Amino acid sequence: MRRLATLAALAFLALSTPARATFSIAAVDPATGEVGSAGASCISGSIILSDVHPGVGTIHTQAYWNGTNQANASDLMDQGWAPQAIIDWLAANDAQGNPTIRQYGIADLVGGGRSAAYTGTNCTDWAGQITGPTYSVQGNILLGPEIVADMETAFLATPGPLAVKLMAALQAANVPGADTRCAGAGKPAISAFIRVARPDDTPGSFYLDLNVNNTSTAQNPIDLLQDQFDAWLPTAAPAASPALRLLPAAPNPFNPQTTLRFALAAAGPARLEIIDLAGRRLTVLREGPCDAGEQSAIWDGRDDTGRALPSGVYFARLVTPAAEQSQKLVLLR
- DSSP conformation letters of 105-170: EEEE-GGG-EEEEEE-TTSPSS-EEEEETTEEEEEESBS-THHHHHHHHHHHH--S-HHHHHHHHH
Q: Which of 258, 261, 257, 235 is nearest to 246 (CA)?
A: 261
Contact criterion met (CB below 8 Å) for 177 and 49 = no
| Cis bond upstream, residue 321 (ω within 30) | no
* Cα→Cα distances 316→80, 162, 247, 298, 330, Å: 15, 28, 10, 11, 10
Per-residue pLDDT tens digits for 27-75: 999 888 899 999 999 889 999 999 999 999 999 999 999 999 999 999 9
The reported pLDDT for the residue numbered 12 is: 36
CB atoms within 10 A of CB 184: 10
Confidence of residue 313 (pLDDT cuts 50, 70, 90): confident
Flag whether pLDDT at 103 surpasses 60.
Answer: yes
DSSP bridge pairs for 319: 271, 324
Predicted TM-score (pTM) of the model is 0.73
H/E element, 91: helix 83-92
Q: Which residues contact 297 (CB under 8 A, 6 or more apart)?
A: 259, 260, 272, 285, 286
The reported pLDDT for the residue numbered 177 is: 59
Q: Choose the most confident range, by mean pLDDT, from 3-12, 26-35, 179-188, 236-245.
A: 26-35
- What's the chain's average pLDDT? 89
Per-residue pLDDT tens digits for 245-293: 888 889 989 999 999 999 998 899 999 999 988 888 999 999 999 999 8
Domains of the chain, earliest start first: 7-235 (3.60.20.10), 244-331 (2.60.40.4070)
Q: Determine the 3-state secondary structure of 202 from DSSP.
A: strand
Mean pLDDT over residues 307-319, rounded? Answer: 92
Q: Give backbone dihedrals phi and psi of 170, rounded to 5 degrees, phi first.
A: -65, -40
CB atoms within 10 A of CB 234: 6
Flag whether pLDDT at 18 surpasses 90.
Answer: no
Flag whether pLDDT at 7 surpasses 70.
Answer: no
The reported pLDDT for the residue numbered 8 is: 37
DSSP 32: T
Going by DSSP bridges, is the β-strand pair 128-132/114-119 parallel, antiparallel, or unpaired?
A: unpaired
Per-residue pLDDT tens digits for 193-206: 999 999 889 888 99
Contact criterion met (CB below 8 Å) for 93 and 101 = no
DSSP 5: S
Flag whether pLDDT at 14 surpasses 50.
Answer: no
